[in-house]
Amino acid sequence: MKYATKTKTTLRLVMAMAVGFATATAAAATFRVEIDFMGDPGDGHDHQPDQIVLDAVIQMFACQGHTLILDLDDQIPHVNTLIGDPTADCSNFWNYTGATNTYRSLRNTWFDREGVDGWHYCIFAHQYATDADPANSGSGCNATNSSGRANGGDAFIVTLGGAPWAGQEGTQFAQAGTLAHELGHNLGLSHCGTANCASNSFDGTATWVGPQVPNMPSVMSYNYQTSGVRTQLIANGLAFDEALFKELDYSHGRMCSWNENNLNETRGTVMMPVDYNCDNDTQDSGVVQDVNYGGGGIGAAAPWCGVGNANLTNVNDYNEWANLSDGAALVANGTRGEAVALATLDARERELDKTPCITGDEVARIEAELGIRGGGPTLEVETCISGENVYIGPGSPLFDFGICNLPKISVESAQADSPSNSVYFFTPTTYDEANGLLLNKRGKYFCKTGAALIR
């Protein structure tokens, strides 16, 4: 007999349920997750996600044309810490069954769809133990207040029970952001887009600061997972109110790349100028700064100020929505002996083991640096965005996609190819529209970093 169950709701989202206008960025797909949660251990808290948490993440996928099925299934017994093999520094986390408080032991008991192709299994749990120093054997199992963990395949956990997570449960936004984040790992997404997360995680003093990619507007980035994409882009001086961002989202890959060896403050993000060298103005070019340490902002309060330039590189956005790869499908293929699927799963898990998901302590530090209060925005089921952030500027006539790195070369082409209600960001120059121009779509036009003349 299974443990007592509070409620059981099966949520199957169809396209018509999306609030607002849905635009697909990749072939429409269906993703399936069975969720179990740990019940009240006797102190008044439990780990059942609220309905709005599920609805918000379902809507996030619906806005891109995808169907997300979340089956909130069983309340399971509460354990304080999930462990791996304690004789091997908590390795073999996903498959160790030598104790009752392991992911695999709970999965073997509670996962109703074990062996059914295409299903992920998630536990909303308290916390887990990990190896404090994977490079050195004998460092042991240590409880972490990491927000969660995923194996890149069909297994993941959300763990918001340790201090300083609010109420040993996390805020509703932290729950939703982390659910989307850990599922994202099983859909092939990392913390850093295409970059090597492990190499971007130190501040020059061997201090772990987490892989933060401020110009990748996604809950996969440490900057935005628990604190909101839109809220923090605006608060950090990287975007402004009219820019089209949601709080809960994966990235569409449209923002500017940053060359940390040659930053232009006036250009900034094109949306906004950015004070990269922390001298309280935005007039400098050729700036060298390790900006992927933290967020943005003007002056000496920017989180990267005072950080050693230990790892200068290009910091790039990444179109995550166009590059989803379902790990549950890989698992299904791997069980049938497909070597490519097994190799992909192995590579994903190895990468994820190198870059643990954000901890409560790291969230507190980021919030303190960025002046965030209240643990992020109030969670809402967000209306879909009907337009796009469209960049217009000098570029190649062969490749003008309207993203920052490949902008539209004319206002005419931007109008012709962009959805209504888009927001247009101009690189300062003169735009000669030789054939005349009819602005026949709603939109907003900005040149925040100089002057643009359209004639």
76 contacts 40 by C-beta, under 8 angstroms: no
253 contacts 405 by C-beta, under 8 angstroms: no
- Separation of alpha carbons 117 and 396, rounded Å: 44
> Same structural domain for residues 349 and 400?
no
Q: How many domains does the chain have?
A: 2
The pLDDT value given to residue 202? 46
Residue 244 lies in a domain: no
Residue 176 lies in a domain: yes
The pLDDT value given to residue 18? 42
- Separation of alpha carbons 357 and 344, rounded Å: 20
DSSP assignment string, 213-260: -TTS-STTSTTTTTT-HHHHHHHTTSS-TTS---SS---BS-SPPEET
> Same structural domain for residues 328 and 435?
no
The pLDDT value given to residue 81? 97
> Same structural domain for residues 335 and 450?
no
Residue 415 lies in a domain: yes
> Same structural domain for residues 329 and 441?
no
> Same structural domain for residues 172 and 98?
yes
> Same structural domain for residues 102 and 59?
yes
Residue 247 lies in a domain: no
Residue 278 lies in a domain: no
> Same structural domain for residues 30 and 145?
yes
| Domain-ending residue, one of 355, 373, 398 | 355
Its domain, for residue 397, covers: 389-454
> Same structural domain for residues 13 and 100?
yes
> Same structural domain for residues 345 and 430?
no
> Same structural domain for residues 71 and 173?
yes
| Adjacent-strand bridge partners of 67 | 30
Question: Is the four-CA dihedral 108, 112, 114, 119 of positive or negative sign?
Answer: negative
Residue 342 lies in a domain: yes
Apex CA 303: angle with CA 301 and CA 304, to 5°?
115
> Same structural domain for residues 340 and 411?
no
DSSP-derived 3-state class of residue 67: strand
Residue 238 lies in a domain: no
> Same structural domain for residues 78 and 150?
yes
For the chain of 455 residues, list the mean pLDDT of each consecutive stretch of 10: 36 37 64 98 96 98 98 97 93 95 98 96 96 70 94 98 92 96 97 78 48 89 91 88 97 95 93 89 91 56 64 89 97 93 94 86 74 74 96 87 94 91 94 81 89 88
Residue 27 lies in a domain: yes
